[in-house]
A and B are shown apart, each in its own frame.
Chain A
Amino acid sequence: MSTAERTDEMGAVDTAKLQTVTASGAPRRGLAARLVARIGGGAAQALLALVALFWLIPTFGLLVVSLRSNSDNNAGGWWQVFTKPSQLTVDSYQNLLGKADFVDSFWNTVAITVPSTVLVVVIASLAGYAFAWLEFPGRDWLFLLVVALLVVPVQVALLPVAELYGKVDFGGFQMMGSITGVVLFHVAFGLPFAIFLLRNFFAGIPRDLLEAARMDGGSEWTIFRRVVFPLGGPAIASLGIFQFLWVWNDLLVSLVFADTDAQPMTKWLQSQMRQFAGNIDILAPGAFLSLLIPLAVFFAFQRYFVQGVLAGSVK
C-alpha cells in the first residue's frame, strides 16, 4: 500500500470522527469540543503516554528482577539496579533454560496453543460462512444454539468433561491428562464466540460481492477461499490473536486436564511456587519468557486490527 493511499484512508477516518464530534457538540462548537481541539494533539498524548508507562512498571520490574541474582533480589528492591547496573546478569535465564522440565513445558504450551488456535479459526470461519450465507434447514436455530453456548462458563464444564474423558474409551488412548484432551477442551470453548464473531463479520460482506463471484464461476468453496476469507482478514486475524492469547495464558484448564507430561508453562510455573520461599529466580524469568511469544504475535498481526478492507467495493 502506498503512502498516498494510506493518508487517503486516514483522511476518511478523521472526517468521520470530526463529524461525530461536531454532531454531539451541536448547535455551536461546545467548550468541551474546543478544549479537545486545543489540547488534543500534545497534552492528551502526553497523558496517554503517562498511563501507558504506569501500566508498564510491573512488567518492567519483572524483567529487571529476572535479570538479578537471587541474593540481590533478597537484599533489596529491583529499582536498586538504577544505581548498581552491575547487578544485571543472565544467570537466572541460563539456569532456567537448563531445566529440562521447563523446556518441556514450553513445548507443551506451543503444542497446545497452536492447534487450539488453528482449529478454532478454520472451523469457525467455515461455520461462520455457512451460518451467514448458506441456506439449510434449521440454520437460525442452530446459530441461536451456538450463541446460547456463549453464556456457559468454563468452570461448570470442568468436572463433567473430566468425567467424560475418564469414562469414554478412545481406543485405549488416555484422553484425561493428554495434550489432545486440553486442545479439545480449548477448541470446544473457543468455538461459540469465534463462530459468533465471524458469522457476524461475514454477514456484513455485501451480498452482491458473493453473487458476482458466483456469476464469475466460483463454487461455494472457491467463493469462501478467494473472496470471503481474504475479506474476513481483519476479523480472522483478531480472532486468531485473541484465541492464541487465551490459550497461551490459560492455567485453569491445564490444571484440571493436563498431567505432568502435558503441562504447559503456566502450570509448571505454578508448581514452582513455594509457600515460604520466594523462588523468584525461577518465577521471574519463566514468567517473562512466557510473555515474549504473545507479544511477538500481537505485533506481527496488529495492523489487521485497523485495516478497513471493505472500502470501495460497493457504492
Chain B
Amino acid sequence: MAEVVLNGVGKVYPDGTRAVTDLNLTIADGEFLVLVGPSGCGKTTALRMVAGLEDISEGEVRIGDRVVNHVPSRDRDLAMVFQSYALYPHLSVRDNIGFGLSLRKMPKDEIHRRVEEAARVLGLTDHLDRKPRNLSGGQRQRVAMGRAIVREPQAFLMDEPLSNLDAKMRVQTRAEIARLQRDLGVTTIYVTHDQTEAMTLGDRVAVMKKGQLQQVAPPQELYDRPANLFVAGFIGSPAMNLVQGTFAGDADDPRVEIGGQSLALPDKVLSERPALGDYFGRNVVVGIRPEDMEDATLVDAPEGTTLTSTAELVEAMGSDVLVHFAVEAAQVVTEDTKELARDAGTDVLGALEAPRTVLVGRFSPRTRVRVGDPVTTRVDTGRLHFFDIDTGAAIWGTDAAPSGRNEE
C-alpha cells in the first residue's frame, strides 16, 4: 500500500491530440479517489498512465517513493479491474484469480490459500472451478475484483468496473466495493462517468473536463462549494439550475434579479463570499439546486424568496416531485454548459427570441401542482451559488477559495 502522486502529468498522442493536461493529484495511502467526468475527459487515460498501459508524455507519476514513468506495468505492483473484466477465458475462476500470483512464482499452497480466502470474501467459493463463460455478469465482476485483491498490490486501479452491470446489481456491487476497500485499506483510483458512483464511493472526488482537472474535494464539499460552472452542473442529480441574473441592491440589502423577479439574499451570503461585493450591478450566473426549491404553499415563504411561473412538466418520483417551470431570464451559454449539454445528450439553444430558461425544482410529494398550474416556488436564497459569467469560476472570497485546480 502506498501513496500515489501525479505531478504535472500530461498526455499528448503522436497525432498531436491532447488527452490530459497538467494533472496534479496526491492520493494518500489508503485513500479512495474517484476520477469523474464526461466521456472523453481524459480520466481513463490518466488511469492508464498510472497503470503503465499508456506512456506518460509530461510530468511524473510516483508510487510510494518510486518514480514509475519508465517502469513497465508488471513491475509497478498495481492491480487493475477493467470495464470488460478481461477474464482469461481459457482458465477456471481459480486460475484466473491466482494468475498474477503464479506469474510471481508464489508457492502453490500460498496461492491456494489466498485464492480460497478471496473467493470466500467475494462469495465465489462455489464457482472456483467454473469457466468465466458460465458465470453471470455480477460473478464475473467479482472474479475481476478477486484477481485484484489476492495480489495485495500497492494500489487498485478501477476503470468503470460497474458499467456493464444492470442497475440493481450495480448498486449492490457498489456497496461491496466500498466495503472491500475500507476493509483492505488499499489506495484506490476509481474511474467513472457516473456522478452517483463518484459521490457514494470516493473519499475525495476529482472532476475532470477535457483533460483538465476542475476540482478535487470530498463529495460533500464538491456539492456545497463547486469551484466552477462545470463542477456545479456535473455533480448532483437532477443537475443544478443555471440561469443568468443580475446582482443588485447594496451591501445592506443584496438582491439578485432573475428575469424580472427579485430574490433577497440573507447577510451571510455576502459575508461568506467577500468577492461578491465587486459584482453589484453586474450580470452573474446564479445556480439553484433543485433540492433548494420547494412549493411555496407548503412552507413559510416570506417576501423576496419566491419565483412565480407556470408548471410545464410535473414528474412524480414518489419520494419527491420534479416540477419544471420557466423564468424569463437568459440561458447560460458558456463552454462549460455546452460540455455539460453534450454529456447529457441535449443541445443548448443559442439566443432565443425572448430570454427563457427552464428550471427544475424538487418539491415535496405533498405538492398539489399540476401541469399548467401557476406555481410559486420558495427558494432557499442562502444556498444559492454564484459564478462569474465570463470565466465560469465560482465567486467566493480570494482567501476562502475552495480547493481548486492545483492541490498541494
Contacts and interface: CB of A to CB of B under 8 A. Distances in A.
Interface of A: 5, 8, 206, 208-209, 211-219, 222, 226-227, 230-231, 233, 309-315
Name the residue in A8, A208, A216 with the highest tally of chain B Cβ atoms < 10 Å from its Cβ: A216
Interface string B52-77: 11000000000000000000111100
Contacts of A216: 74, 79, 99-100, 103, 147, 151
Given A212-B80, A217-B104, A5 B89 contact: no
A209 B99 CA distance: 12
A11 B73 CA distance: 40
Contact of B131 (A217, A312, A314): A312
B402 interface: no
Contacts of B80: 211-212, 215
Nearest to A211: B53
Contacts of B51: 211, 215
A313 B88 contact: yes
Interface of B: 51-53, 72-75, 78-80, 82-90, 99-100, 103-104, 131-135, 137, 140, 147, 151, 157, 164
Contacts of B78: 215
B134 A312 contact: yes
A164 to B, nearest CB: 41
Contacts of B131: 5, 312
Nearest to A205: B89
B74 A215 contact: yes
A134 to B, nearest CB: 13
Given A209-B86, A214-B53, A230-B90, 15 more contacts: A5-B134, A209-B88, A211-B51, A211-B86, A214-B52, A214-B72, A215-B51, A215-B79, A216-B103, A222-B103, A226-B103, A312-B134, A313-B86, A314-B86, A315-B140
A214 B87 contact: no
Contacts of A214: 52-53, 72-74
A226 B137 CA distance: 24
A90 B151 CA distance: 64
Nearest to B51: A215
Contacts of A233: 90
Nearest to B153: A215
Contacts of B87: 212, 312-314
B103 A208 contact: no
Contacts of A8: 134
B75 to A, nearest CB: 8
A309 B89 contact: yes
22 contacts: A5-B134, A8-B134, A206-B84, A208-B84, A211-B80, A211-B86, A212-B82, A214-B53, A216-B103, A217-B75, A219-B74, A222-B103, A312-B133, A312-B134, A313-B86, A313-B87, A313-B88, A313-B133, A314-B86, A314-B87, A315-B84, A315-B85
B189 to A, nearest CB: 13
A312 B51 CA distance: 24
A218 B74 contact: yes
Nearest to B84: A314
A309 B78 CA distance: 28
Given A212-B82, A215-B79, A218-B74, A310 B89 contact: yes
Given A215-B51, A216-B103, A315-B140, A309 B90 contact: yes
A216 B132 CA distance: 17
A309 B132 CA distance: 11
Contact of B89 (A211, A215, A217, A313): A313
Contacts of B74: 214-219
For the complex of A and B, the 4 pairs showing the least CB-CB separation, nearest first, are A312-B133, A216-B100, A313-B89, A208-B86
B132 A313 contact: yes
A126 to B, nearest CB: 19
Nearest to A209: B86
A218 B102 CA distance: 10
Contacts of B53: 211, 214-215
B403 to A, nearest CB: 31
Contacts of A5: 131, 134
A211 B82 contact: yes
Nearest to A212: B86
B215 to A, nearest CB: 29
Nearest to B98: A216
B64 to A, nearest CB: 17
Contacts of B84: 206, 208, 314-315
A314 B80 CA distance: 15
Contacts of B134: 5, 8, 312
A212 B90 CA distance: 14
A5 B157 CA distance: 33
B337 to A, nearest CB: 34
A187 to B, nearest CB: 28
Name the residue in B51, B100, B164 with the highest tally of chain A Cβ atoms < 10 Å from its Cβ: B100
B136 to A, nearest CB: 10
Contact of A218 (B86, B103, B147): B103
A8 B82 CA distance: 26
Nearest to B91: A230
A227 B80 CA distance: 17
A315 to B, nearest CB: 5
Contact of A231 (B73, B89, B103, B133): B89
Contacts of B147: 212, 216
